[in-house]
Copies of this chain bind each other. A is one copy, B any other.
Amino acid sequence: MCPHALIPFKLVNPKTRLSCVLSQEEREAFARAMLEDVIHAIKDANCSPVIVGTELFDSENVQITVSDADLNQTLNSILPQSVGEILIIMADLPLASAEAIRRVTATKADLAIVPGRGGGSNVIYIKEPTRFHVDYYGMSFLKHVKIAQDAGLSCEVIDSFRLHTDIDEKEDLVELLIHGSGRSRAYLEELGFVLSVEKGRVGISRKPEKTEAA
């Protein structure tokens, strides 16, 4: 009734493709804020979050599983031991909503996937984890569809832009400023990020830091 939601999370130096607009310290705080938004949506959807990380940190009552191994090894050691359904959801989905997650867990298929932009697998929901294994990186969406097929598992692709929109690059921040409502959007605004339109295209810009006097 209350599936575990595994959330892979990198604490140190995450989101390097945002280095052009955020310092390492800011990227670490931003990644934590996105994680918080994802956890919020997961709890609202009645799932039980478990952070899958490479080190321990203060995660405010959310369970952490720590592993040195890479993402695939780590998850593939957890899945065979799991009883009951498992949701695997990425930590960089700050637009995640409980409603979207519920559409995933409501699937009638054996497996549900939400593709990420560029062929990734942002969310995977597996009813019988012992019959599946993951293979992230590269075109993982197509790989996961094939793994399901080879295992004789039916697979539904869930049509959600909120779960499709992973935040990797500067352009992705536009989506967060337009559609976000949680901690990570607030953090971007605290840093001075605003939407801007140039030559008809929407982008972001960062206002100079406020001075003490202002």
User: In the complex, what's the smallest C-beta–C-beta distance from A108 to chain B, in angstroms?
Assistant: 14
Q: Are A174 and B115 in contact (CB under 8 A)?
A: no
Say yes or no for A141: interface residue by CB 8 A criterion.
yes
Chain B, residue nearest A114 (CB) = B161
In the complex, A165→B119 CA distance in Å?
13
The secondary structure that dominates the A interface is mixed
Chain B, residue nearest A168 (CB) = B201
Say yes or no for A171: interface residue by CB 8 A criterion.
yes
Say yes or no for A138: interface residue by CB 8 A criterion.
yes
In the complex, A119→B115 CA distance in Å?
20
User: In the complex, what's the smallest C-beta–C-beta distance from A161 to chain B, in angstroms?
Assistant: 4
Say yes or no for A162: interface residue by CB 8 A criterion.
yes
Q: Given that A159-B100, A159-B161, A171-B118 are known contacts, is A178 also in contact with B138, CB under 8 Å in the complex?
A: no
Say yes or no for A24: interface residue by CB 8 A criterion.
no
Q: Are B200 and A138 in contact (CB under 8 A)?
A: yes
In the complex, A165→B117 CA distance in Å?
9
Complex interface: chain B residues within 8 A of A37 (CB)? none
Complex interface: chain B residues within 8 A of A117 (CB)? 175
Complex interface: chain B residues within 8 A of A163 (CB)? 161
Pick the residue among B99, B114, B118, B197 that contacts A201 (CB under 8 A): B118
In the complex, A115→B164 CA distance in Å?
13
List residues 4-35 of chain A with CB under 8 A from any CB of chain B: none
Chain B, residue nearest A195 (CB) = B139
Say yes or no for A160: interface residue by CB 8 A criterion.
yes
